[in-house]
Structure 1
């Protein structure tokens, strides 16, 4: 048994702490999803164990994809990024027109023959971040050239932003923020970044006040800014999320003892952090925050040690995307932001979103592996000389 475990460990490369974080978040996810899907199981007429097994299958599939992604040299993702960007734009357009409508939003498209569906915004995040990392690293010599560098970069950011924002504003805003961070790291001039931000602000205003979901967006902002002036129906989700956190106390009610899971509409997804705090208390809530902060710390170490600009930008973009999404989800749960449809990475029950998140972790580990392997070669050479 020990030899099998050591065999598996020897086959995995990259930052061991990130592997540990992924396993830890997966275990937390299994406990939280099993506890929060009782009502969902009742509505579907199945046992909670059935939903848990499907979720477990997704986690196992995600870890398998992460393993495959981390074994592939990260430099190959530069070429893959072009293909992803070419596929992403028509897929986002197709989703807006023909995608499945849930809560007045068209975000999902079905995968033929599988019975599964996925959010094209998950693919768009990977595509845009890898494409920006590739473009910024290859255009460093003429990074301030408007035609060769700035227009392609600005165009890709703004097009992806508007296509996602029409159906999923929160994800679009987070991706736009990550893109700006990458532009700063990639030495784009302040004036050009200001132009991108101005263009983003204009597009944002158009989506909020003229887009197909303008009523929903304005209502959510108004509910967040003036909760005392809206009906209890509109603030139902945020109110019960706060009740879950408030009644959790310091130590929580214990695993499986949540009561708010029966009231929160997305207790297994968007509001899973509130259920975790209710059952495991402030200690559990702060522990989860600490895990994501430690993840960011390990990723920043990878970024600073990466020998190539593409690897550094790639790891930075993906790690910022994952941690910003995590803290956005937790901020909404504790009432620091308006209600959004953002899941907690690797914790929420999210189907194919877990797979895309796992691929992102795999790419980060691939960059980390490239940092470690040269060290092993040098150590080997020194040993042979001795």
Structure 2
């Protein structure tokens, strides 16, 4: 397994434990158990070869689509969510199928491109991306659907699809989506309310989103070394979930936030290393191509979501409800991100197995 990835995951899990202990100490044991489970999932997933993931991808993707459809009819949401349904409950287990759907899409696209290549038309790929994104959009969950769509585009690029083809794909979809955007926003007015609140044009909503300002205050109070998890502080909504970076910053200061960013950089570095090594394997076999796509897709799934979460905490984006991968309190994201980390480990091992001599050139 990759030492870099293990260090990154351990750093994120430890910082998550500190953040939850700071914001919601009563949940620390529950969060610690989920973090340990995610680490076990990573170790187990790392033992599976990429060709197995590629072979099972259509079934895995199909299951995630069925779960998304089931969510539309039997999903659960908060009492104040206004009809939003994003979770499924099976006894004591409550999870968010859209988290699994992102990983399912990565697996399916990697399987498709490794078998068919990138010279074919993008009709099938377009259908896969739109179907997955559309089901998430219907929940509605605009933040996750944008991430899912962006993930599909990144996987296309990682697979080797020409940039001009991707540009044409995006332009065509934009033109098709414009007539539907107004109807969608009218049906879900909370989306515009959040945007206007973020821009300061809706005072009532802006006051409701004041937790961003409180998060900024916590980051400032953290200083260079932090106040520690036991220091007195004001409580506010999502301090242990979507805005946990503020809790981490309050407890560990700039040092902790820097370590958090460093951990995500390690994930990016490892995935790019896999892609670089894969291009040097001769002859290029479908499983090597697929492993490279899997690593790049899993990496963006983790780091792309982290960038959105951190942008929200910084006040650059409206509140989206996107958790910070492997740091925020929650079951669905923690488990799925642990699986994604295992897939990157698996892809790296496959590339080294193809030509071990490549390791000497690193």
Tell me which interval the TM-score lies in, with the shorter structure as reference length.
0.7 to 0.9
1:277 to 2:249 alignment: yes
The yes-or-no answer on 1:145 pairing with 2:120 is yes
More displaced 10-residue stretch of structure 1: 225-234 or 71-80:
225-234
Give the direction of change, closer, same or farther, for the CA distance of 1:321–1:375 in structure 2 (3 Å limit): same
Flag as ranges the 4+ runs of structure 1 deviating above 6 A.
none
Listed as ranges, the gaps of 5+ residues in structure 2 are: 282-287
Structure 1 residue corresponding to 2:180, chosen from 181, 202, 206:
206
Residue pair 1:258, 1:278 contacting (<8 A) in 2 also: no
Partner of 2:285: none
How big is the shift at 1:59? Answer: 1.5
1:251-270 residue pairs with structure 2 within 5 A? 251-257=225-231, 259-260=233-234, 262=235, 264-270=236-242
Match of 2:14 in 1: 27
Report the CA distance between 1:171 and its aligned residue.
Answer: 1.2
Pairwise CA distance, 1:376: 5.8
The structure that has the greater radius of gyration is 1
Deviations 1:16-36 (A, max 9, x none): 110121122111111211221
| Farther-moved stretch of structure 1 (190-199 vs 348-357) | 190-199
Find the aligned partners of 1:30 and 1:242 in 2 and give their Cα distance: 20
Identify which range, 315-324 or 279-288, moves more after superposition.
Answer: 279-288
Any conservation in 2 of the 1:270–1:329 contact (CA below 8 Å)?
A: yes
The corresponding residue for 1:132 is 109
Output one character per residue of 1:178-231: Cα deviation in whole Å (capped at 9) or x when no partner: 211221232334454234324543447735642586211111111122368555
Match of 1:91 in 2: 67
Q: Alignment partner for residue 121 of structure 1, among 98, 117, 120?
A: 98
1:296 is matched with 268
What TM-score comes out, normalization by structure 2 length? Answer: 0.88
CA distance in 1 between partners of 2:11 and 2:329 (Å)? 15
**Secondary structure of 1:290's aligned partner:** helix
Residue aligning to 1:325? 305
Residues 358-373 of structure 1: pairs in structure 2 closer than 5 A: 358-373=338-353
Aligned to 1:107: 86
> What residue is the counterpart of 1:342 in the other structure?
322
Among 160, 165, 171, the alignment partner of 2:144 is: 171
The separation in 2 between residues aligned to 1:279 and 1:151, in whole angstroms, is 49
Q: Tell me which residue corresponds to 1:383.
A: none
Q: What RMSD, in angstroms, separates the aligned Cα atoms of the two structures?
A: 2.4
Change (3 A) 1:52 1:255: closer
Conservation of the 8 A alpha-carbon contact between 1:185 and 1:313: yes
Name which structure has the greater RCO, CA cutoff 8 Å, separation 6+.
2
Q: 1:109 touches 1:118 (CA, 8 Å); kept in 2? A: yes
The answer to whether 1:222 aligns with 2:196 is yes
Q: Which moved more, 1:313-322 or 1:245-254?
A: 245-254
1:261-300 residue CA offsets vs partner (Å, 9 max, x unmatched): x1x2111110100111122222322221122112211221
Tell whether the 8 Å contact from 1:208 to 1:218 is kept in structure 2 after alignment.
no
- Contact in 2 for aligned 1:162/1:203 (Cα 8 Å): no
Separation in 1, partners of 2:20, 2:245: 11
In 2, the alpha carbon distance for the partners of 1:362 and 1:235 equals 36
Q: Aligned residue pairs: how many?
A: 346
Q: Deviations over 1:64-112 (max 9, x none)?
A: 111111111111111211001222222212112220022232111112x
Contact 1:272 1:344 (8 Å CA) reproduced: yes
Name whichever of 99-108 and 238-247 sits farther off.
Answer: 238-247
Q: Is the 8 Å Cα contact of residues 332 and 340 (structure 1) preserved in structure 2?
A: yes
